[in-house]
Every structure is written in structure tokens, then in C-alpha cells.
């Protein structure tokens, strides 16, 4: 299983590709909506790309709980273990 930092880096690449946010700005304490300015449509794209990249399933009802990059990393770690 990927480490926390590897997952964060993977998410950073995804966020950068989809939204243009610099990968170095995608840190664990950053809010997807408030800090990174990711709207709901882009968030869906991020989730789909993360599911493919990390081989996990993120249920629609879970997406609203993924407020920060750290929340997403933690979910992916648990889902992948």
C-alpha cells in the first residue's frame, strides 16, 4: 500500500491535471473547496481519477466527508488496506 506522502503526491498530480492548482499547493491541511477552490464538478473528476489511480471505491455519500486533502488521503489509506 502507498504511504501517506505517496497518496498525497498522487492526489496533487490529479488535482493539478484537473484544476490547474499547482501540485505543491495540495497539502494535507488544505480544504478542497476553501483553499484549493475546487467546485463540485471538478471534485467528482478528482474522485473518479483517485479511484482509478489507487484502486479504491469512494462511495458518493463519502465524497461530502472529504473536506480536506488529509481526509481524502486517510480514506484512501483505509479503503486500500
Q: pLDDT for 51-77, tens place per residue? A: 999 999 999 999 999 999 999 999 999
Nearest Cα neighbor of 23 from 8, 34, 38, 35 is: 8
Half-sphere exposure for 2 (CA within 13 Å, toward CB): 20
Q: End-to-end alpha-carbon separation of the chain, Å? A: 7
Can you give the pLDDT at residue 2?
83
> Contact at 8 Å (CB) between 49 and 39?
no
Q: Which residues are annotated as catalytic?
A: 39
The CATH number assigned to the domain holding 52 equals 1.10.1200.10
Domain that holds residue 47: 4-80
Q: How many domains does the chain have?
A: 1
Can you give the pLDDT at residue 28?
97
Q: pLDDT for 17-38, tens place per residue? A: 999 999 999 999 999 999 999 9
Q: What pTM, to 2 d.p., does this model score?
A: 0.93
Amino acid at each position: 500500500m502507498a504511504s501517506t506522502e505517496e497518496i498525497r503526491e498522487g492526489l496533487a498530480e490529479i488535482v493539478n491535471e484537473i484544476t490547474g492548482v499547482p501540485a505543491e499547493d495540495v497539502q494535507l491541511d488544505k480544504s478542497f473547496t476553501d483553499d484549493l477552490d475546487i467546485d463540485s464538478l471538478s471534485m467528482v473528476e478528482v474522485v473518479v481519477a483517485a479511484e482509478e489511480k489507487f484502486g479504491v471505491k469512494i462511495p458518493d455519500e463519502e465524497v461530502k466527508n472529504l473536506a480536506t486533502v488529509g481526509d481524502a488521503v486517510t480514506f484512501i489509506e483505509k479503503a486500500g488496506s
